[in-house]
Amino acid sequence: MNQMRVATGGLLAAAPDMLDENFMHTVVLMTAHNDEGAMGLVMNRPTQLTIDKLMPNHPVLSTLKATVYAGGPVGLDTLQLIHRAPHRVPESVELAAGVWIGGELEAVAQWMVEAPEEAERDLRIVLGHSGWSAGQLEGELSQGAWLPVAPDAGAIFDGEPIVIWRRVLRSLGDHASGLSDLPPDVSWN
């Protein structure tokens, strides 16, 4: 049995040559990886969808324009809350140092109204997820399709989503030097 596992809260950076449109230049926050398979959430794919359009019947969220992120191509009927403010969102679970998942939706709505700048910085509303069947992610890791990265709350929340992938690759150090500058297909040069 292959023991290559990505820890809960760890990150996966797509290899520069990954051409799958669902994952090209993405960073995935891992929420589970075990013998049954793996699940994660893409953290750097903001959509054109805003929370008011997603939840038009909610008394508070229907009035807010917060960006919704595409967590992956699976479970598009599921919504996840990723944040770094457990004091604001009761009932959330810590995935890694400084990264929390879930919590009370009403508390999130209240946070977004009371401190909109803080919520915009420290909250990701994620629709859908990424999933791998048993052994699938291990195979992709062994082929070099993904680069595992230690948990890093700053990589998820600090800065614009468009720069997350490059910043995460650069955090891998000298052995990954230059990877963030490669196009997905070297023939594009």
**Ramachandran angles phi, psi of 60, nearest 5°:** -105, -50
Structural domains in the chain? 11-188 (3.40.1740.10)
Q: Return the structure tokens found at 141.
A: 């890791």
Q: Rounded to whole angstroms, how far apart are CA atoms 94 and 87?
A: 12
Q: Please tell me the predicted confidence (pLDDT) of residue 85.
A: 96
Q: Tell me the C-alpha to C-alpha distance, in Å, between residue 22 and each of 51, 68, 120.
A: 21, 16, 24
Q: Please tell me the predicted confidence (pLDDT) of residue 4.
A: 80
**pLDDT profile of the chain (189 residues), mean per 10:** 78 93 96 96 97 97 97 96 97 96 97 97 97 96 94 93 91 62 47
Q: Is 142 exposed, middle or buried (0-12, 13-18, 19+ CB in 10 A)?
A: exposed
Task: DSSP letter for 91, please.
Answer: T
Task: DSSP letter for 170, please.
Answer: H
